A = this chain, B = another copy of it.
């Protein structure tokens, strides 16, 4: 970074908020993809005015910008390519307004999902998106990736739970999208266009989020099946009746075997697939609602459905699922964790295909995830230090993506694209749509300074 640029950055944000030494900035150059790059500099912003001025400065000087929350993403989207300036939103983290009468909250992007939920809970509300990293990840990051979690099956993703945004375009122009209400059809939907665009179209400086009343009660159950086909049939049966669960999580046979090796969970040897199901609602209706879901869960070759009757039993039922992550960490601390999606009815073909790919490429694959959306976390258990194995794993991954697309699926349900999947998405998105995305990008960010090189692969004409 040129001294003049840094000086102007300090004028805008205050020198206390600018880091330029490699030792200081290195910690802002990674995310949870295990990729890392050296930022050109880091600036901590405190308000939208600073963001506007910084983007104008970068637009003028051609410096790339990567916006960053807490770096919990898994795709490299916040890894600053091209010696970019990292704009950190950690300190721009106010909850500006919570308006329960109108079921909305206005927040700055740096507030964490957990902080927001904690502020909403005493008021009887929540914001539905619940990525695994909710305790630490920021709302800005959730919006950038359209991150969701188990609750999406009932309550949707950020795209279904956001009303409007304030943002700064790549040329430093401030604009607002959406409205304060759940209905609104004035102009094109720029809100959803920005959500999921991974900081490549504009920098979000404020979000108006749609709130949902907290359910009064929740009921947890575990259902076990002989095989994945039966579990998938049960998922379809559950999703075909009117009580939509607020979690419909799944573990495949390999995941169950793995957990069995590490902990005694009292699961019968015949169990080949498992569903963890949660139903929420009012105190008075929860028992009936849970019974409706349990009845659907009992379809096919169901071995058991256990409904927790106490907090203790809830913990016991979650024990198998919760034992999985530590077991995976023990076996393969640096596993590759994908988040593909297939239509629910294709889950058995996906799992069957994955078993074959696992054997063909000699890579252990464990599958679990959000069955109600068909969003499966495909985990390739690899040791990154074993170069031969990593080569096989990447060939295998390539085939996994092809399998997913053959089954009518999509390459990412909630992790996003970033760098990890950027060069695969042209298998899913047709060339015309991809060119339109590039065209849109050019309008929002004519100098290509916003998170360049992320999300959409370069056009052939660009690289040729």
Chain B residues with CB under 8 A of A382: none
Q: Given the complex of chains A and B, what is the CA–CA distance between A428 and B176 in angstroms?
A: 10
Question: How many copies of the polypeptide does the oligomer hold?
Answer: 2
**A190-B414 CB under 8 A given contacts A180-B409, A181-B409, A342-B181:** no
Partner of A159, one of B125, B190, B192, B291: B192
A176 B433 Cβ-Cβ under 8 A: yes
Q: Is the interface of A mostly helix, strand, loop or mixed?
A: loop
Chain B residues with CB under 8 A of A124: 240
Partner of A412, one of B184, B197, B342: B184
Chain B residues with CB under 8 A of A284: 288, 291-292
B242 A282 Cβ-Cβ under 8 A: yes
Q: A61 within 8 Å of B by Cβ?
A: no
Q: A2 within 8 Å of B by Cβ?
A: no
CB distance from A331 to the nearest CB of B (A): 27
Chain B residues with CB under 8 A of A153: 182
Q: Given the complex of chains A and B, what is the CA–CA distance between A436 and B442 in angstroms?
A: 11
Query: Interface code A226-255, partner B: CB below 8 Å = 1, 0 otherwise?
Result: 000000000010011111100000000000
Q: A353 within 8 Å of B by Cβ?
A: no
Query: Interface code A107-139, partner B: CB below 8 Å = 1, 0 otherwise?
Result: 000000000000000001100000000000000
A437 B188 Cβ-Cβ under 8 A: yes
Partner of A413, one of B100, B184, B189, B370: B184
CB distance from A124 to the nearest CB of B (A): 7
Q: A26 within 8 Å of B by Cβ?
A: no
Q: Which of A259-289 contact B (CB under 8 A)?
A: 280-282, 284-285, 288-289
**A186-B216 CB under 8 A given contacts A156-B160, A192-B192, A343-B181:** no
Q: Given the complex of chains A and B, what is the CA–CA distance between A64 and B304 in angstroms?
A: 62
> What are 23 residue pairs bridging A and B, where the CB atoms are less than 8 Å apart in the complex?
A99-B343, A99-B345, A102-B343, A102-B345, A152-B183, A156-B160, A157-B183, A159-B192, A175-B430, A180-B408, A180-B409, A181-B341, A181-B342, A183-B373, A185-B196, A185-B413, A186-B429, A192-B192, A243-B281, A284-B292, A285-B288, A285-B289, A288-B288
Residues of chain A touching chain B, judged by Cβ–Cβ distance below 8 Å, are: 99-104, 124-125, 145-146, 148, 152-153, 156-157, 159-160, 169, 173-177, 179-190, 192-193, 195-197, 201, 213-216, 236, 239-244, 280-282, 284-285, 288-289, 291-292, 341-345, 370, 373-375, 408-417, 421, 425, 428-430, 432-434, 436-437, 439-440, 443-444, 455-456
